[in-house]
Copies of this chain bind each other. A is one copy, B any other.
């Protein structure tokens, strides 16, 4: 776990290291000692850059949440037929998950033991509700299948999308769009061949 690195740290560069360790060991399972070993500096040097463990968590989940909420403000999410907006938000959410993978991973694993964690859970719920409203509008248009409840469909859709953080690892480069396409095809078209 000793990943030496000899430039001086800033809160941001330290965050990169910390989030990686948080995701490997879990936030609660990570001690300041673990972080110091991974960063290659002493515990007390970490306290020079940030107030403590929780500040690192707050910075990380903030970045993830900013990325997700930004999607909801994009033109593709606010204009056009509701079902197309849902598809757009789904595709873009996949892209944000992949682009900000470590940060979103941490966000999605937050439990709620501290104030920061509860704030993160609250903002996640807010995001979910915004998307649920979109699906509701699409259902009202008759563009979504009527035999699955809207709230349930939202949860299943984003359960599928969010599960990316459990296995996706970045490689070459241009696979982001392909992945987003596959997710959208499966979520909206289903797994079976057309009968």
Asked if B147 contacts A156 (CB within 8 A), the reply is no
Select which of B25, B113, B186 is within 8 A of A153 by beta carbon.
B186
Asked if A192 contacts B29 (CB within 8 A), the reply is no
Asked if A157 contacts B25 (CB within 8 A), the reply is no
Which residues of B lie under 8 Å from residue A7 when comparing CB positions? none
Using known A-B contacts A145-B191, A192-B143, determine if residue A186 contacts B111 with beta carbons closer than 8 Å.
no
Interface size on A, residues (CB 8 A): 44
Which residues of B lie under 8 Å from residue A194 when comparing CB positions? 145
Does residue A55 face the partner (Cβ distance < 8 Å to B)? Answer: no
Asked if B186 contacts A189 (CB within 8 A), the reply is no
Does residue A185 face the partner (Cβ distance < 8 Å to B)? Answer: yes
Does residue A68 face the partner (Cβ distance < 8 Å to B)? Answer: no
CB distance from A29 to the nearest CB of B (A): 4
Does residue A172 face the partner (Cβ distance < 8 Å to B)? Answer: no
State the 5 A-B residue pairs at the shortest beta-carbon distance, nearest first: A159-B163, A190-B190, A28-B28, A160-B160, A28-B29
Q: Would you list 14 pairs from A and B whose C-beta atoms are within 8 A, ordered by A residue?
A: A26-B26, A26-B28, A142-B193, A145-B186, A145-B189, A145-B190, A145-B192, A147-B185, A155-B163, A156-B163, A159-B162, A160-B160, A187-B191, A189-B192
